[in-house]
Amino acid sequence: MSSPTHYLISAPGKVILFGEHAVVYGKTAIAGSLDGLRTYVLFEKREDGLLELNLPKLGLHLPLLWPTSALPYSKVAAVSKVADNNSSQELAFNEELLKELKPIVLDGNVKNKDIQEINEFQQIAASVFLYLYTSLEDKQTSWNGMTVHVISNLPVGAGLGSSASYSVCLATGLLLVLGHIPIPNSNEGNTDSSFSGSSSPMNLINRWAFQAEKVIHGTPSGIDNAVSTYGGAVSFTKGEMENVIGFQLLRFLLTSTKVPRDTRAQVAKVRVLYDKYPHIVDPIFEAIEGISLSFNEIVNSGASQSELNKKFEELIDLNHYLLNSLGVGHSSIDRVREITAQHSLHSKLTGAGGGGCVLTLLRDDVTSDEITKVKSALATLGFECFETQVGGNGVSVIDSSVTISKQEFLSSENVQQHFSGWKHFT
Ligand SMILES: Nc1ncnc2c1ncn2[C@@H]1O[C@H](COP(=O)(O)OP(=O)(O)OP(=O)(O)O)[C@@H](O)[C@H]1O
Ligand SMILES: C[C@@](O)(CCO)CC(=O)[O-]
Ligand SMILES: [Mg+2]
């Protein structure tokens, strides 16, 4: 087969049902992938030694451009590249490389400097790309540069794992282009993945996406990138995952408060509180873990659907109050909770909080008429609702055996359905 000229990668966002923040401290959390809310990245081959990154979703309407020759390869120890690929150990994070990349990230703007300022979030997104490229470049590619287009139907910085799905797409595309993993054969869905072995492509993608999340968040737990990589619905403790089938059967409404926040700042805020009052905050994390563990017990208890729903609603309220006590609530989240409570529905913040999204359980007895009423009440106040199923495929790819026109990709309403031939890793 002739060498590939493009790859299209897709990875889902995620929703955390229980356990955010506590999971950063090693406690169990429950999360699932959001099949319909995904990031898509198109990688196209170049011949001129340039890396071009297009980030329209972050408000950048001109490309960022860097020559590959400008990257600080000397800061990447050879051993941390290939040898680590076959180990299950966490990859060491290269602070030195990240520091060296800072001025290079800004140089990528040189061509368009007069018309384009790049803000901190755009700089972070560019750093992620260059960090992964520099770490993984191993001269095993027939590509001499690339053009990368990123699009997404996920709200950015709203608690639904936009950073993780961006990280997973970049890690996957770069591992493929730079010759570290093969294109998968399988067209089967990977939702029942049994979290494949340590040298599998999925494992490698997840570990490099975790590195990318570190560039974005500082100290991520790894739950977001794991869910985005593997898909499905899981119970996650310190990097270990188990499938939770019952979670996928539940229905939720996701409401964006549209209040911007970033996960790094929220996680740092909780860290300050923890360092100041460990004897108070640690029991809060324990209590949050108790909620995740109760959820796992209840799901497997064989109770009737209405009993299950009642208990889940109690757990949702408890988890929300505990998150509020950590200081990651927001008045806009309280407002969404009030509105949904008027329709006898229970809600909690999801993700890092401080704004972002709210998760509402839609019990089986809630009619579509009632859902329409809640949504319209929320929309009237300027909130935005997303409905999507929990669980479903993790990362997937289309290779150059399928022709993909850039215009078609950029203008497509639903990339997942528009293109066929998605392949799944093992
Ligand atoms: N489509 C995208 N294009 C480029 N960068 C993106 C994209 N989506 C997310 N990012 C990167 O991720 C950052 C947002 O990450 P952040 O973790 O704060 O929010 P989130 O992942 O949406 O929420 P949470 O972590 O709570 O689930 C952005 O500032 C940007 O750097
Ligand atoms: C707040 C947090 O628990 C979830 C963000 O989606 C952070 C993390 O787990 O890395
Ligand atoms: Mg994130």
Do 301 and 403 fall within a single domain? no
Residue 82 reports pLDDT greater than 60:
no
Whether residue 189 lies inside any domain: the answer is yes
Distance 76 CA to ligand 2 centre (A): 28
Distance 368 CA to ligand 3 centre (A): 31
Do 398 and 339 fall within a single domain? no
Distance 35 CA to ligand 2 centre (A): 19
Pull the structure tokens for residue 193. Answer: 């993945």
Do 275 and 151 fall within a single domain? no
Is the beta carbon of 221 within 6 A of some atom in ligand 2?
A: yes
30: which strand partners? 18, 235
The model's confidence at residue 302, banded by pLDDT at 50, 70 and 90, is: confident
Whether residue 1 lies inside any domain: the answer is no
Do 53 and 198 fall within a single domain? yes
Distance 162 CA to ligand 1 centre (A): 4
CATH number at residue 193: 3.30.230.10
Residue 88 reports pLDDT greater than 90:
no
What is the Cβ-side half-sphere exposure of residue 217, based on CA atoms within 13 angstroms? 29
Report, as an integer, the average pLDDT of 230-254.
93
The model's confidence at residue 87, banded by pLDDT at 50, 70 and 90, is: low
- Residue 351 alpha carbon, nearest atom of ligand 2: 6
CB 395 within 8 A of CB 196: no
Report, as an integer, the average pLDDT of 250-254.
94
Per cent of the chain over pLDDT 70 is 92
pLDDT at 303: 87
pLDDT tens per residue across span 89-110: 788 999 999 999 999 998 886 5
Residue 187 reports pLDDT greater than 80:
no
Helix then strand then coil, in percent of the chain rounded to 5, is 45, 20, 35
Whether residue 242 lies inside any domain: the answer is no
pLDDT at 116: 65
Do 396 and 373 fall within a single domain? no
In one-letter notation, the amino acid at residue 379 is: A
Report the interhelical angle of 162-177 vs 201-217 (nearest 10°): 130
User: Where does residue 56 rank: exposed (0-12), middle (13-18), buried (19+ CB within 10 A)?
Assistant: middle
Is the beta carbon of 362 within 6 A of some atom in ligand 2?
A: no
Do 198 and 271 fall within a single domain? no
Whether residue 260 lies inside any domain: the answer is yes
Report the interhelical angle of 305-325 vs 278-299 (nearest 10°): 170
**Residue 406, SS3?**
helix
Whether residue 245 lies inside any domain: the answer is no
CB 182 within 8 A of CB 423: no
Which of 24-28, 168-172, 408-412 is the least confident region?
Answer: 408-412
Do 256 and 405 fall within a single domain? no
Residue nearest to atom 20 of ligand 1 (CA): 157
CB 132 within 8 A of CB 174: yes
Query: What's the first-to-final CA gap in the chain, in angstroms?
Result: 22
Is the beta carbon of 23 within 6 A of some atom in ligand 2?
A: yes
Residue 40 reports pLDDT greater than 70:
yes
Whether residue 371 lies inside any domain: the answer is yes
Do 184 and 299 fall within a single domain? no
Residue 372 reports pLDDT greater than 90:
yes
Measured CA to CA, the distance from residue 251 to residue 311 in angstroms comes to 15
Whether residue 138 lies inside any domain: the answer is yes
The model's confidence at residue 193, banded by pLDDT at 50, 70 and 90, is: very low
Is the beta carbon of 35 within 6 A of some atom in ligand 2?
A: no
The model's confidence at residue 246, banded by pLDDT at 50, 70 and 90, is: confident
Residue nearest to atom 6 of ligand 2 (CA): 351
Residue 158 reports pLDDT greater than 90:
yes
Report, as an integer, the average pLDDT of 127-140.
93
Is the beta carbon of 218 within 6 A of some atom in ligand 1?
A: no
Q: Note the ligand closest to the C-alpha atom of 162.
A: 1
Q: Note the ligand closest to the C-alpha atom of 124.
A: 1
- Best residue among 55, 166, 326 to mutate for probing ligand 1's pocket (most ligand atoms within 8 Å of CB) is 166
Active-site residue set? 163, 224
Do 168 and 66 fall within a single domain? yes
- Best residue among 123, 124, 163 to mutate for probing ligand 1's pocket (most ligand atoms within 8 Å of CB) is 163
Is the beta carbon of 121 within 6 A of some atom in ligand 1?
A: yes
Model pTM?
A: 0.95
Whether residue 168 lies inside any domain: the answer is yes
Q: Note the ligand closest to the C-alpha atom of 119.
A: 1
- Best residue among 25, 37, 217 to mutate for probing ligand 2's pocket (most ligand atoms within 8 Å of CB) is 217
Which of 23-32, 271-280, 398-407 is the least confident region?
Answer: 398-407
**Residue 52, SS3?**
strand
User: Where does residue 183 rank: exposed (0-12), middle (13-18), buried (19+ CB within 10 A)?
Assistant: middle
CB 418 within 8 A of CB 412: yes
Please give the tally of structural domains in the chain.
2
Per cent of the chain over pLDDT 90 is 81
CB 115 within 8 A of CB 62: yes
Measured CA to CA, the distance from residue 28 to residue 22 in angstroms comes to 8
Residue 331 belongs to domain spanning: 251-389
Distance 154 CA to ligand 1 centre (A): 9
Report, as an integer, the average pLDDT of 109-118.
65
Do 44 and 175 fall within a single domain? yes
Q: Which residue has the tokens 């923890």?
A: 274
pLDDT at 83: 41
Residue nearest to atom 28 of ligand 1 (CA): 121
Do 373 and 408 fall within a single domain? no
The model's confidence at residue 305, banded by pLDDT at 50, 70 and 90, is: confident
Higher pLDDT residue, 379 or 186? 379
Phi, psi of 250 (to 5 degrees): -80, 150
Kindly list the distances between the CA atom of residue 116 and the CA atoms of 55, 111, 161, 228, in Å, as whole numbers in the listed order: 13, 9, 27, 31
pLDDT at 86: 57
CB 324 within 8 A of CB 301: no
CATH number at residue 348: 3.30.70.890
The per-residue pLDDT of the chain, averaged, comes to 92
Residue 198 reports pLDDT greater than 80:
no
Do 377 and 411 fall within a single domain? no
